Structures are given as C-alpha cells and as structure tokens.
Structure 1
Amino acid sequence: MYLTYEELLIESESQNLIVKEKNLPGYNGRIYKNRIAISKNLNMSEKKCVLAEELGHHHTSVGNILNMEDLSNRKQERQARLWGYNKLIGLTGIVNAFESGCQSAYEASEFLEVTVEYLQECIDCYRDKYGICTEIGNYIIYFIPNLAVMEKV
C-alpha cells in the first residue's frame, strides 16, 4: 500500500545513506553527510515520519540548518518536510484515505501509516501551499475551513 519504514530504509541504502537507530537526546532524527540517526525510542510510524523528513533534508537541504532564527534555514526545513509529506502521503494519499471511508484524522493516519500529528502538519503545509483547495484527478481537496474531499461529477 504505502511505503513502510523498512522500504524507506532500503531506499536510503540504495542512495548510499547509513541509517542507525540510537539514543538522540532532544532530537527524533538528524542527518550529517551520508549518515542518518533516528531515535530508537520512537514507534514504527514515528520512525517512518522522521526518516522521510531526514531523507527530505538529504534531497533538499544544504549545509547546517540547525539555527531556525535564519530565514534561509527555515525555508530549507519547510522544503525537507514537504518532500517527506509528498513521499509518505501526497494529495493522492488524502484522496485514497477518503475513498477508503476514513472519517477522521485518526482513521486517515492509520490508513496512511503515519502519525496523526504528521498528517495534520502535512495538511497544514498543503493548505499553505495550495490555499483553499486544489484539484487532483477527478477530486477537489478542500483545506479550508476543514479538510474535505469531494468527487467532481
């Protein structure tokens, strides 16, 4: 169905990235050069979401962006998160959750195998990117006032 944590690990390995689970006080994930550290204290859905974001950093970020006071670093952080949202959920995932009968954020997050918080952050990001709504295929996804998916007739 959707990418699993194990599939993300395989994708990471195919890109010569080394992923290790370890104690990371204060962080859920970090990337440095070709090494990604994921907190071993997370559940599988959380690890999957964190790894997707760290892969997003690998693909979209340049340099040390830890200082969130810097506007450029905040933009790179947003790009990395958007990359992860698109990888794990995407507009298609939102439509598929709707088609599968999901009636709540909890049900949709279970269907997509991500955390509720990650799904909400994705929806917020898409709302910022697309505004009130966007179309995909035969569907309109509304982000304002609340998430809703409607099939075009």
Structure 2
Amino acid sequence: MNKLETFEQKAYDQNVKVYDYYLGEESLAGLYIDGRVAINTSVKSLKKRTCVIAEELGHHYTSSGNILDQDDVRTQKQEHKARLWGYNESIGLIGIVEAFNHGCHNLYEMAEYLDVTEEYLKEALDAYRDKYGVRTDIDNYTVCFIPYLTVFKKV
C-alpha cells in the first residue's frame, strides 16, 4: 500500500469521505468540512494528493469550528497544528532518519523515498526546525536542522 492509499484508508477508518472537487481556484488544493475532504481536481500528482490529504486529515484530528479566516490568530494556530499533524504522519523524524539510512543525500531523494513532494518536505523541515531548533534526538539518532539537514547515529 502506498502512502496515498494509507491516508485514504485512515480517512475511511474515521468515516471521513474524500472527494475530488473543483474548488474554484488553483491555489486551493484541499478543504476539510465536517468529516469530508475535498481535493481540488487540479491536483493531479499522486504525491501532491498525498500531501493534501495528510493536511486535511490533520484538520479532522486537530481542528474545530470555522477556521477559514486566516487573519485570526486562533485560526492560524489551528492551521499550524493540522499541518504539523500531516507532517508527522507523512514524514516524521523517524522518516527523516530512515531516509538517511536508506542513502538519501539530498531533498529530492528524500522526498522520493518518503513519497511526498519536495516542497512539502521543505515545509515540514522548516516546521521541525521551528519546533526543535538546531537539533533534536530521536531513538539512537540526532537530527540536525542547522546549518543543513543531517543525521548522526549515536555511538
């Protein structure tokens, strides 16, 4: 099962319906409303669809109420929380470690290995850098975000 199918199964298991729907503008990739995810018909790439459904499921698990007003700080916080949920489910620190152990040496290779878009991976790494700072430890590894992404196995 690929990553998109995994997220579709998560949606199904939570009784969240996923629809292909034209959302009126190309810049709006997805939308979550009351147990329904709409993925814009303009989203053709399977990797992009994976990233969209990950974030929209993040809204299912973490958001409440109408959060369309992006000028509201509370809305921005809920949006951030949903995105972080999506990043953790589709990439996660363990995914970064696994990609390095698999021999991925750049963002393109890592995104391919993780089955996400390079843009989504960059956004996730920025979010992790904001959350963890220069570095963080996971299991027997240290993930460094600054000055560049690298992973060290602890001895």
2-side partners of 1:77 and 1:22: how far apart?
Answer: 21
Q: Does 1:82 align with 2:84?
A: yes
% same residue: 49
- Asked if structure 2 preserves the Cα contact closer than 8 Å seen for 1:19 and 1:35, the reply is yes
Letter in 2 for 1:33: D
Stretches of 4+ moved more than 2 A in 1?
Answer: none
Q: CA shift at 1:25, angstroms?
A: 2.4
Aligned to 1:96: 98
| Structure 2 counterpart SS, 1:37 | strand
Aligned to 2:133: 131
Q: CA shift at 1:41, angstroms?
A: 2.2
1-side partners of 2:7 and 2:138: how far apart?
Answer: 25
Q: CA shift at 1:147, angstroms?
A: 0.9
For 1:12-51, what aligned pairs fall within 5 Å after superposition? 12-26=11-25, 27-42=28-43, 43-51=45-53
Question: What is the aligned counterpart of 1:147 among 127, 146, 149?
Answer: 149
Aligned to 1:73: 75
RMSD: 1.1
| Structure 1 counterpart SS, 2:151 | strand
- Asked if structure 2 preserves the Cα contact closer than 8 Å seen for 1:39 and 1:47, the reply is no
Q: CA shift at 1:99, angstroms?
A: 0.3
Aligned to 1:10: 9
TM-score, normalised with respect to structure 2 = 0.94
- Asked if structure 2 preserves the Cα contact closer than 8 Å seen for 1:89 and 1:112, the reply is yes
Q: CA shift at 1:34, angstroms?
A: 1.2
Where structure 2 has 5 or more consecutive residues not aligned to the other structure, the ranges are none
| Structure 1 counterpart SS, 2:146 | coil
2-side partners of 1:38 and 1:85: how far apart?
Answer: 18
| Structure 2 counterpart SS, 1:69 | coil
Where structure 1 has 5 or more consecutive residues not aligned to the other structure, the ranges are none
Q: What count of residue pairs does the alignment treat as equivalent? A: 152
Question: What is the aligned counterpart of 1:53 among 45, 52, 55?
Answer: 55
TM-score, normalised with respect to structure 1 = 0.96
